[in-house]
Amino acid sequence: MEQGLNIYGSTQIDNNEILNVLDEAGYYLEFNSEYSFYFIPEQEENYDSLEMQIAYLLDQKGINYRIEGNF
């Protein structure tokens, strides 16, 4: 299993907005259709700064989400 961050939207609309915002910002996203979350591969030592960057972008748009580290 790859290391990175899993980003879950609260609704399908939130998932669509997550894709729009993060794709526009230049992040590489993989969508897991089985569990409905986006995955961004990243090394564990960079999780905190990446999570802060993503949270800032999504909070600016009022998107409901949660982020989990995938170790």
CA dist., res. 7 & res. 4, Å (int): 10
- Count of CB atoms within 10 A of residue 7's CB? 25
| Domain contains 37 | yes
CA separation (Å) from 44 to 3, 4, 39, 49, 52?
Answer: 7, 7, 13, 10, 14
For CA atoms 13, 18, 63, 3, the dihedral sign is positive
| Domain contains 56 | yes
| Domain contains 4 | no
| Domain contains 2 | no
State residue 1's pLDDT score. 65
Counting the structural domains of the chain, the total is: 1
Range of the domain at 56: 10-66
| Domain contains 60 | yes
**pTM of the predicted structure, to 2 decimals:** 0.93
- Per-residue pLDDT reduced to its tens digit, 20-70: 999 999 999 999 999 999 999 999 999 999 999 999 999 999 999 999 999
